[in-house]
Amino acid sequence: DVKVTQSSRYLVKRTGEKVFLECVQDMDHENMFWYRQDPGLGLRLIYFSYDVKMKEKGDIPEGYSVSREKKERFSLILESASTNQTSMYLCASSSPPPRQGRGAKNIQYFGAGTRLSVL
């Protein structure tokens, strides 16, 4: 089974702290994604990555950065946490590479989520 593991289920941080959310997948997927999930807003894409050291902005990248030094690991960084970043964060991975194959293979596999509270 594909496994996407997020390092923490719950985090409580203070305003202004630098926060790292880690995600690891074990299926050698090229694509990895970070979303945030808020009531009434569904899933919103923050950043995604198609390859090691490669990143692209999603719909709401402001206040976030990412790092992908190894294929299996994709980190989300909140440079200076703010209260409006309190949310559920979901990591996902998928295969194959975006310019090959059919869309049906682009199934996303999600981690269990990290619920972040910024006080």
Partner 1 sequence: GNSVTQMEGPVTLSEEAFLTINCTYTATGYPSLFWYVQYPGEGLQLLLKATKADDKGSNKGFEATYRKETTSFHLEKGSVQVSDSAVYFCALSDREGGSYIPTFGRGTSLIVHP
In angstroms, the CA 108 to CA 34 distance is: 11
Task: Tell me which residue of 86, 94, 91 sits closest to 112, measured CA to CA.
Answer: 91
- Contacting positions for partner 1 (CB under 8 A): 4, 31, 40-43, 45, 48, 58, 90, 92, 94, 98-99, 102-104, 106-113
Closest distance of CB 2 from partner 1, Å: 10
Judged by beta carbon, residue 42 or residue 69, the one nearer partner 1 is 42
Q: Is 72 left (phi over 0), alpha (psi -120 to 50) or beta?
A: alpha
Task: Give min distance, CB of 80 to partner 1, in A.
Answer: 27
| Residue among 24 and 90 whose Cβ is closer to partner 1 | 90
Q: What's the min distance (Å) between Cβ of 12 and partner 1?
A: 17
| 3 state SS of 14 | coil
